[in-house]
């Protein structure tokens, strides 16, 4: 029982490596403890239990911001948010449990084999977590390594492969202290990780030369409690209008956050004209809004969470519809049943959102080609870009206003990893922070902190030629996992 408590504690410690704390050495040390816990488990059932409690601790602390989202929905009590965090964590812990069980089942009392198998299994099970049942890819362990040189390897093996590296490093420390016979294996693992990281950095392609177009990101600091209140509609518009500034001689790409306007732009030409008055003759505005879907009787039946392109003449260009929706946030699963017992969506409104067709690239003329990913979509490694029509940058309008203090910096960190993976700059626009300009190496060039109003004026960073991950996607972390399994088999045969 004490060791199950230690498993829970180690999981809690592992979450301290996530933003906003960023204590990444603790995440690695937590995997050191996990490797020991798995190795000393007397049975498969015990190994599964220890991995499960590790996962519970990691998710409960790392996802604490979800509880804050419930405070914005008057139809549900705030305490229900913490119940949701715990219940979600109990489910998400199934994946670390599976990784621990697989490593225990096949390690055959060889500690190096256990470390290799635990890393391989973690890669696969973390991918499963981000894929099954619509997926929940928030806080992959690899994101904790973003401040380190190891993060460069995401351009080759993706975020899930980077999570495997975190497990390898933790295991290497355990091997170093497990006995003199294991120190050589520990040194070899650390050297291999260092070589992979250095190679990825040295082999990264040079950015495409030339200064990009002028962009202005608007962060109006409009909180969730005022966003949909009709009493604040004029004030909210005034903030956007003032912060967008007067048109100048240099054409600008104006970038507003997710759901920036409450108007239905497709069917309200007056709203389009009001917005078009804010932009100059050479400007273009990208903003979030809602596109309604109407039934045969003329009544609205559903909606899309969309990004609209608005021209200076008030005309609409191409539109992007969010594809990966948030369960309970943008639609209510099993609505007839759950609504009958008093549950509702966290976002206001009675219409459920529909999912769009997926990643697409929109041609913005002089401003380049934009890939669009709305809010939550940005966390899904390998699924943010149309690989058949590669963009010049990714625009990620988001509304993190209901994500508490931990959610927004975690969201930003995951957007930075997408930049590293794809070799593309990422531009984020949020109503309350953290809006940012991220270059194609994942570096944070400019940002606006949480809870502040402001603008970012910048030149769009250049893209890099496609990375290895941009070409092949999530086949690469699976190949890395297979390589680890092959190494484990070779070690086991050699020491038999």
Residues designated as active site:
258, 322, 375
User: How many other C-beta atoms can be found within 10 angstroms of the C-beta atom of residue 128?
Assistant: 16
Residues 6+ apart with CB under 8 A from 219: 243, 257, 429, 430, 431, 432, 433, 435, 448, 452, 453, 454, 455, 456
CA 372, 376, 380, 385: dihedral to nearest 10 degrees?
A: 0
CA 160 distance to own-chain centroid: 12
Beta bridge partners of 309: 286
User: How many other C-beta atoms can be found within 10 angstroms of the C-beta atom of residue 85?
Assistant: 22
Residues 6+ apart with CB under 8 A from 83: none
How far is the C-alpha of 240 from the C-alpha of 435, rounded, in Å? 15
DSSP, collapsed to helix, strand or coil, labels residue 457 as strand
How far is the C-alpha of 326 from the C-alpha of 163, rounded, in Å? 24
Tell whether the torsion through CA atoms of 340, 342, 345 and 351 is positive or negative.
positive
DSSP per position, 303-369? EEEEEEEE-TTS-EEEEEE--S--BTTTB-TTHHHHHHTT---SSS-SSPBPP-S---EEE-GGG-E
How far is the C-alpha of 414 from the C-alpha of 400, rounded, in Å? 13
Tell whether the torsion through CA atoms of 126, 129, 131 and 136 is positive or negative.
negative
CA atoms within 13 A on the CB side of 359: 21
Q: Retrieve residue 135's tokens.
A: 């997926």
User: How many other C-beta atoms can be found within 10 angstroms of the C-beta atom of residue 489?
Assistant: 14
CA atoms within 13 A on the CB side of 416: 29
């Amino acid at each position: 029982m004490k060791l199950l408590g230690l498993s829970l504690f180690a999981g809690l410690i592992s979450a301290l490596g996530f933003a906003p704390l960023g204590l990444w050495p603790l995440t690695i040390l937590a995997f050191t403890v996990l490797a020991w816990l798995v190795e000393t488990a007397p049975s498969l059932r015990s190994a599964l239990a220890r991995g499960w409690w590790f996962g519970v601790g990691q998710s409960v602390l790392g996802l604490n911001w979800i509880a804050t989202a419930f405070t914005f929905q008057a139809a549900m009590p705030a305490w229900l948010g913490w119940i949701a965090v715990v219940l979600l964590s109990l489910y998400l812990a199934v994946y670390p449990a599976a990784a621990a069980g697989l490593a225990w089942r096949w390690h055959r009392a060889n500690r190096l084999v256990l470390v290799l198998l635990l890393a391989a299994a973690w890669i696969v099970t973390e991918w499963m977590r981000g894929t099954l049942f619509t997926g929940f890819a928030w806080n992959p362990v690899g994101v904790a390594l973003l401040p380190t040189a190891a993060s460069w390897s995401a351009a080759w093996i993706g975020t899930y492969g980077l999570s495997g590296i975190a497990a390898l490093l933790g295991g290497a420390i355990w091997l170093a202290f497990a006995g003199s016979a294991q120190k050589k294996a520990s040194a070899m693992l650390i050297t291999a990780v260092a070589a992979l990281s250095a190679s990825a950095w040295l082999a990264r392609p040079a950015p495409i030369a030339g200064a990009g177009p002028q962009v202005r990101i608007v962060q109006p600091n409009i909180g969730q409690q005022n966003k949909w209140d009709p009493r604040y509609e004029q004030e909210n518009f005034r903030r956007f209008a003032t912060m967008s500034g007067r048109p100048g001689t240099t054409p600008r790409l104006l970038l507003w956050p997710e759901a920036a306007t409450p108007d239905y732009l497709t069917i309200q030409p007056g709203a389009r004209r009001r917005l078009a008055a804010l932009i100059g003759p050479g400007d273009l505005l990208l903003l979030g809004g809602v596109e309604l879907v109407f039934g045969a009787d003329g009544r609205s039946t559903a909606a899309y969470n969309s990004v609209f392109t608005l021209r200076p003449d008030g005309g609409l260009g191409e539109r992007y519809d969010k594809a990966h929706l948030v369960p309970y946030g943008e639609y209510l699963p099993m609505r007839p049943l759950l609504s009958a017992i008093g549950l509702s969506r966290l976002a206001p409104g009675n219409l459920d959102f529909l999912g769009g067709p997926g990643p697409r690239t929109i041609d913005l003329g002089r401003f380049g080609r934009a890939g669009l990913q709305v809010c939550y979509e940005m966390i899904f490694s390998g699924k943010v870009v149309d690989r058949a029509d590669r963009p010049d940058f990714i625009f990620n309008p988001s509304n993190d206003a209901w994500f508490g203090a931990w959610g927004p910096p975690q969201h930003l960190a995951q957007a930075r990893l997408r930049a590293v993976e794809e070799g593309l700059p990422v531009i984020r626009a949020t109503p309350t922070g953290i809006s940012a300009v991220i270059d194609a190496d994942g570096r944070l060039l400019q940002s606006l902190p949480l809870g502040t109003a402001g603008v970012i004026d910048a030149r769009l960073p250049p893209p890099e030629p496609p990375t290895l991950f941009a070409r092949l996607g999530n086949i690469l972390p699976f190949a890395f996992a297979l390589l680890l399994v092959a190494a484990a088999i070779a070690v086991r045969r050699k020491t038999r």
